[in-house]
Amino acid sequence: MIKNKWIRIGAIGVLSTSMLAACGDDETIEDPQEVLEEEEAADELEEETDIDEEQADELEEETDEAEEEADELEEETDEEAEEVLDNVDLGNVDMADLETTYLTPLDWTVLEFDEYVQEEFGQPIADFDDFADLEARVGPVEDIETTE
């Protein structure tokens, strides 16, 4: 009798568990064709994503190449600017003072400033004794800006 009681309880437990599981799962089994279509759509989306990643990699490579070309061009420009500076005789005028006082505020090159000095004062930069002499003769940068 004790054995039957435990067998009945076990059977009732198994049956009730399966009934609850069957009732609780209201999802219907999908049509296998729909499942296949959804998987194909997911595969296509993954493939498109792979293509987008490849395009992004190609764009990044192109950007890196463009940056390298820009760096090379900047180096060439710097070298050319140094060559121009070598061709301009500054005499005793200090380049650092000239640059901070006149060239940077005016956004001029040494050649442009030399041309201005020659036109306005009849002598090139190299003919001044030093920067103080040039500054005394040319005057403050504000005066140059108002005459331009």
Residues 6 or more apart whose Cβ sits within 8 Å of residue 91: 125, 126, 127, 128
Residue 91 tokens read as: 């005499």
Kindly state the average pLDDT of the residues 87-111: 84
How many other CB atoms are there within 10 angstroms of residue 132's CB atom?
Answer: 13
Task: Name which residue leads in pLDDT, 125 or 28.
Answer: 125
Measured distance CA(92)–CA(108) in Å, rounded: 20
pTM of this prediction exceeds 0.85 = no
The model's pLDDT over 35-53, given as tens digits with 9 standing for 90+, comes to 777 888 777 777 777 777 7
Asked if 128 and 90 count as a contact pair (C-beta separation under 8 A), the reply is: no
